[in-house]
Amino acid sequence: MENGFVNPFASTYSMTSLEKALKGGDGTEVADSGTAATRKKRDVIVRGVFSVTVISAEDLPIVDLMGKADPYVVLYMKKTGNKNKTRVVNDSLNPVWNQTFDFVVEDGLHDMLILEVWDHDTFGKDYMGRCILTLTKVILEGEYNDTIPLDGSKSGKLSLHLKWMPQPIYRDA
């Protein structure tokens, strides 16, 4: 201590809680994978309720011999494995479902929604295509509509309404 002031750059100066998080508790840099700042960024967890409305599909591919389809959509959250599915719409390549599904999400920045479109048949089911979405855009925007082409299919797209409702964080006092 000189002139009554503490030198903040001295090694004996105590660290703030942010510095302790970015450095090891003893003040040494944490250098296990990437920089400490990027490592800390990956530790951010975004919780909330993800609401997906499967509005409709259009121009679905013909996958069975009759030239008709009885489509339905399976919604699957990658990280948690939670699944839901729409009802079957009979005899349509342009089905309308207007069904909403809510998923409680614990780690929105690292989860994905997979939507698979299937044709329900008496003797089984035929795969028609899928869409894979990260939750980043809906977390940032809060709510939006989107029409997404089906991967693994020569035609078809899904119309969705996506909404994010953040879960408040409560801390013990």
Other Cβ atoms within 10 Å of 39 Cβ, number: 15
d(CA 40, CA 122): 52
Rg (C-alpha) for the chain, rounded Å, is: 24
d(CA 152, CA 164): 27
Spatial CA neighbour of 69 closest among 151, 155, 132, 138: 155
Enter the pTM of the model: 0.73
Q: Any idea which fold 48-166 has?
A: Immunoglobulin-like (2.60.40)
Give yes or no for a contact between 63 and 128, defined as CB atoms under 8 angstroms apart. yes
35-70 per-position pLDDT tens digit: 554 444 556 778 999 999 999 999 999 887 778 899
What are the sequence ranges of the domains in the chain?
Answer: 1-43, 48-166
